[in-house]
Amino acid sequence: MITIITGTNRKNSKSKQIASHVYGLLVEKSNEEVQFLALEDLPADFIQPDMYESSNQHPDIRQLQETYMIPAQKFIFVVPEYNGGIPGILKVFIDACSIYQYKETFHGDKKAGIIGVSSGRSGTLRGMDYMTGFLNYLKIHVMPNRLPISLIDEILPDDELTHEKTIELLDQFTDQFLAF
C-alpha cells in the first residue's frame, strides 16, 4: 500500500493539489492500493501536553495511524516550505504516531518519496533535507531523487496544474518511486 500525505493542515493548499495529481498518477500506473491523507483533516484538538503517552493518544490519530501509516509500505510526502523548513503540523503528526506501534508504523522495509513545494526558488530544499534526516532516523528509506517544485504560484495560478514541465517531472517521479 502507498500513502500520500500532504504536509500541511492549510485548507485547499497547493501541496494538496500536487498530491492529488500524484495520487491520480499512482492509481493509473500501479496495482498497489493508494491512499490519500490530507493533514487538513487532522482533529483540531489532538495536540495536548499528554499526547506523548500511548494511553493519551487522540483516538482519531490512532485511527489515522492504523489506516494510513501502519499498513503502508511506501509514503509520498508532498510538503510545502514554511519558514525555511517544513510545517510543524507534519512533524507533530509523525511524533504523535511514534508513541503507538512504533516499529509497525516506521520500521521494516518502508520507503518514502518527498516532493517539496515552494513559492520561492528553493523548492523546499532545506525542508526535504530535514525530512530525509528524521525519516532515516525512523528507519524509513528515502528515495534519493527528491522533487523540488519551485515558484508554485506561477505553476498553479488558477489552481489547475497545466504547467507541462511540472506534469512531466511528476510523471517521471512517480515512475521512479514505483521502481524504488
pLDDT 10s digits, 107-121: 889 999 999 999 888
3-state SS of 64-115 is HHHHHHCCCCEEEEEEECECCECCHHHHHHHHHHHHCCHHHHHCCCCEEEEE
Q: Which of 22-36, 47-61, 80-94, 101-115 has the lowest mean pLDDT?
A: 47-61
pLDDT value of residue 94:
93
pLDDT value of residue 169:
95
pLDDT 10s digits, 7-47: 999 998 999 999 999 999 999 999 999 999 999 988 888 78
Mean pLDDT of the chain: 91
State the pTM of this model: 0.93
Q: Which residues contact 96 (CB under 8 A, 6 or more apart)?
A: 46, 51, 52, 57, 58, 61
Q: Which residues contact 155 (CB under 8 A, 6 or more apart)?
A: 149, 161, 163, 166
Does residue 69 surpass a pLDDT of 80? Answer: yes
